[in-house]
Every structure is written in C-alpha cells, then in structure tokens.
Amino acid sequence: MSETRYTDQHEWIRTDGGTATVGITKYAAEQLGDVVYVELPTPGKKLAAGGEAAVVESVKAASEVYTPASGEVTEANDALAAEPAKVNADPEGAGWFFKMKLANAAELSKLMTKDQYDKFVKGL
C-alpha cells in the first residue's frame, strides 16, 4: 500500500514497499516560483535522513532539498534536467526528484501525514 508523508521543510516521500519516491510539495513549488534548474542525486548515493539530497533553482532563489528518510538513491528523475518546469506543473506527481531504497522504514513515522501537513501549512 502506498503512503505519503511530509517534512516541515516541504518535502514529500511516497512509499510503495521498500521503495520510496521523493519530491517537493505543491506549497514549496508555489513559494519558489518558476523552477529553472534541478540538481539531482546520482543513483547509488547513500543519504541520511535530513541530509541534503538535491538542489532546486527558481527565478527567485536556490534551495536545498533534504531527504525525509535514510537510504540509497536508485533512480533520479532525469526528465527534470530537460524540463524543470515539471516541478511547478505537477510537484507531487511527474515532478518527483528521486527514488530510493529505504534503510529504515521506521523513520517515516516521525514525518507528518497529509492532514498534519495541511494544518502545518495553514499556520505559516
């Protein structure tokens, strides 16, 4: 069963078995404005929860993207190199950043559910 969790830094992680897909939320994409460049991690890179995983640049600013959980990158969304605007068009779908094999699925329980994240964003 697929489950999506959220960080207070506006990343999302969607798990399906032992594999997870990571990206930024719609709120983050809206705050950034038009995304013009995305630097993604390479497959095989090991990431620690909360560590820097990618960089996204927009017309307004450059921001780090942090990994919500520990694991190893298995795939990067190479389509974003040619079409970074996918991040704005579909941030929680086709605009995903990378996929990873989770090292510790229990880390996900520390992250927010959709309802918790929506309440968090309303308070900003």
For the chain, the domains span: 3-104
Fold of 3-104: OB fold (Dihydrolipoamide Acetyltransferase, E2P) (2.40.50)
Structure tokens at 88: 């704005």
Residues 102, 20: contact at Cβ < 8 Å? Answer: yes
Q: How high is the pLDDT of residue 87?
A: 98
> For the residues 69-76, what does the mean pLDDT come to?
98
Q: How high is the pLDDT of residue 1?
A: 65
What are the pLDDT digits (tens) for 49-64?
999 999 999 999 899 9
E-only strand ranges, the chain: 3-6, 11-16, 19-24, 35-39, 46-47, 52-58, 62-66, 71-76, 98-102
Q: How high is the pLDDT of residue 9?
A: 97
Is the entire prediction scored with pTM above 0.85?
yes
Q: Which residue has the tokens 């990618």?
A: 54
